[in-house]
């Protein structure tokens, strides 16, 4: 059962690219080649001898080509077990030729969907015969070699010529594994199309990129997906596991400010350490950096608009890992490229994530994304003192940052600028104290500042601490059985507070 000489082959491919060298080698070794439709016409025009599938089946291609190879005389020749006498008897009885090699390149279903094809065009690109041939040949890998994609042509040809027309059982099993991967990925794409492009968990069917390492050097790391659809790397070292986590957090955060005035954010370990909206992106960067120039060292920088030369000249003074923008002007690019390892990324589009999946115990946790951005429409006003128009803007600004910061978190904002935040604390009081201490460290005036919390206050202690620091308005989900205590404190101390009714935990 080890090495087997290929004596017959069935070739049925959509893309003809790269198939001629294989046909040439097969013909050189007098391999009998069967084919049909466009593949038969293409190989015939190249001058090679082959047999039409219809000549075996005595049945023409029907239904506009929908049914060509689906016939017992084809699948019998692929699925027959060469070591079983009964199978060989039946092959002889029904005049079924053995097929040792199956080469298939499937209809381009995913490409048709991505190119905006009509529903009819997409449906017609669902390959039926090709998938069936792949599964049959891969199942019978002990006797048959299955080449399921043009991506395997070069490797097959290398093995085939090196071993003078024979493949080992190990070779055939490896190609069978590739075949089932091709089949699984293809079926997943079709399922996603019919399921409104759900991003259900099936990462093994996505493009795989090996990373330098995982979260730490002793851990392996891989990315599954076509990252080039979202970002384009134009300079710098290879992206790491931690880079990708930070980039994901940065893009999620800046998406909250899409199509708004120039906004710049600086992140470290998935959390914003600086963020500001201003009339120019240069001002926005300067104000974002002012919030915490210490944490900005080695950070991830992201803009919601084009980066110009004047902004790039300031960025160039900072050591940072990654810079992301929708576009980087030529002169700005020249400046930023002066640091050879600095990663420069163009944000091509915001990813359309519908779910979040993470490993847990011996399985996985699944949830839909937190796709609610707090807005005026959902606010309720429980306190006697109502926030001003500018305070509401700051409250919603703070809420966007809070939503994208690790819980427990408190975010302090003033005049569309992040002053400080408390991140990832086990106590909301600790998060608030951390934010206040940090704001004071960088000489920010908290009088009139706005405060956002990702979850409700079970007690009025946070309102009291905030008031003593000069903070005048609060945004929080509400929903505590003791909301009235916090409301009373605000009323008694001339503070305003709004409820959103939406919690934004992020763990």
- State in Å, rounded, how far the first CA of the chain is from the last one: 54
* In 253-368, beta strands by DSSP E: 263-268, 271-277, 299-303, 320-325, 343-347, 355-360, 363-368
Region of 18 on the Ramachandran plot (φ > 0 left; ψ -120 to 50 alpha; else beta): left
Show Cβ contacts of residue 236 under 8 Å, excluding neighbours closer than 6 positions: 322, 340, 341, 342, 343, 344
Give the DSSP letter string of 474-501.
EEE----TTHHHHHHHHHHTT-EEEE-S
Buried b (16+ CB within 10 A) or exposed e, 432-456: bbbbbebbeeeebebeebbbbbbbb
Residue 460 CA to residue 458 CA, distance in Å, equals 7
Q: How far apart are CA 283 and CA 156, in angstroms?
A: 58
Cβ atoms of 286 and 314 closer than 8 Å: yes
Buried/exposed code over 281-307 (b: 16+ C-beta within 10 A; e: otherwise): bbebbbbbbbbbeebbeebbbbbbbeb
Beta-bridged to residue 194, according to DSSP, are none
**Ramachandran angles phi, psi of 162, nearest 5°:** -60, -35
Cα distances (Å, whole numbers) of residue 386 to 150, 233, 391, 499: 66, 47, 9, 12
Say how far apart CA 416 and CA 53 lie, in whole Å: 70
Active site residue 139: yes
The sign of the dihedral angle between the CA atoms of 282, 287, 292, 293 is: positive
Could you give the CA distance from residue 20 to residue 15 in angstroms, rounded to a whole number?
Answer: 11
Catalytic residue among 139, 142, 174, 337: 139
CA angle 493, 402, 303 (to 5 degrees): 125
Choice among 174, 269, 309, 393 that is catalytic:
269
Give the CB-side neighbour count of residue 161, counting CA atoms within 13 A.
12
Rounded to whole angstroms, the Cα distance separating 460 from 358 reads 35
**Residues classed as catalytic:** 139, 269
């Amino acid at each position: 059962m080890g090495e087997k000489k290929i004596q017959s082959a069935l070739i049925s491919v959509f893309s003809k690219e790269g198939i001629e060298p294989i046909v040439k080698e097969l013909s050189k070794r007098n391999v009998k080649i069967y084919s049909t439709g466009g593949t038969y016409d293409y190989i015939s025009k190249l001058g090679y001898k082959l047999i039409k599938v219809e000549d075996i089946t005595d049945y023409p291609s029907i239904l506009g080509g929908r049914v060509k190879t689906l016939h017992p005389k084809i699948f019998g020749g692929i699925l027959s077990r060469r070591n079983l006498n009964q199978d060989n008897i039946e092959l002889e009885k029904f005049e079924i030729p053995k097929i040792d090699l199956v080469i298939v390149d499937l209809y381009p279903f995913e490409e048709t969907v991505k190119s905006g094809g009509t529903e009819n065009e997409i449906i017609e690109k669902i390959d039926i015969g090709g998938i069936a041939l792949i599964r049959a040949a891969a199942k019978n890998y002990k006797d048959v070699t299955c080449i399921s994609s043009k991506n395997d042509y070069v490797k097959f040809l290398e093995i085939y010529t090196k071993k003078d027309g024979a493949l080992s059982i190990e070779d055939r099993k490896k190609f069978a594994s590739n075949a089932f991967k091709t089949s699984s990925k293809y079926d997943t794409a079709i399922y996603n199309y019919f399921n409104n492009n759900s991003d259900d968990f099936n990462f093994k069917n996505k493009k795989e990129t090996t990373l330098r390492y995982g979260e730490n050097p002793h851990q392996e790391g891989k990315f599954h997906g076509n990252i080039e659809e979202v970002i384009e790397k134009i300079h710098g070292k290879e992206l790491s596991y931690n880079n990708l986590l930070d980039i994901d957090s940065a893009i999620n955060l800046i998406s909250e400010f899409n199509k708004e005035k120039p906004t710049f954010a600086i992140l470290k370990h998935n959390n914003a350490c600086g963020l500001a909206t201003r009339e120019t992106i240069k001002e926005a960067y300067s104000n974002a950096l002012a919030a915490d120039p210490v944490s900005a060292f080695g950070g991830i920088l992201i803009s919601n608009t084009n980066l110009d030369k004047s902004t790039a000249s300031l960025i160039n003074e900072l050591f940072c890992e990654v810079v992301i923008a929708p576009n980087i002007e030529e002169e700005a690019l020249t400046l930023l490229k002066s640091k050879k390892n600095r990663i420069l990324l163009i944000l091509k589009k915001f990813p359309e994530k519908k779910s979040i999946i993470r490993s847990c115990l011996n399985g996985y946790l699944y949830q839909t994304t937190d796709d609610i951005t707090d807005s005026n429409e959902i606010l309720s006003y429980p306190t006697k003192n109502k926030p001003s128009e500018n305070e509401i803007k700051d409250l919603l600004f703070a809420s966007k940052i809070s939503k994208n910061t690790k819980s427990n978190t408190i975010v302090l904002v003033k005049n569309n600028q992040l002053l400080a935040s408390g991140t990832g604390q086990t106590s909301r009081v600790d998060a608030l104290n951390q934010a206040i201490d940090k704001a004071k460290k960088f000489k920010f005036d908290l009088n009139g500042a706005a405060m956002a919390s990702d979850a409700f206050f079970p007690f009025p202690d946070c309102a009291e601490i905030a008031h003593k620091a000069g903070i005048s308005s609060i945004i929080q989900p509400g929903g505590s059985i003791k909301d009235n205590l916090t409301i009373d404190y605000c009323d008694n101390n001339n503070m305003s507070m709004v409820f959103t009714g939406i919690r934004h935990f992020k763990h």
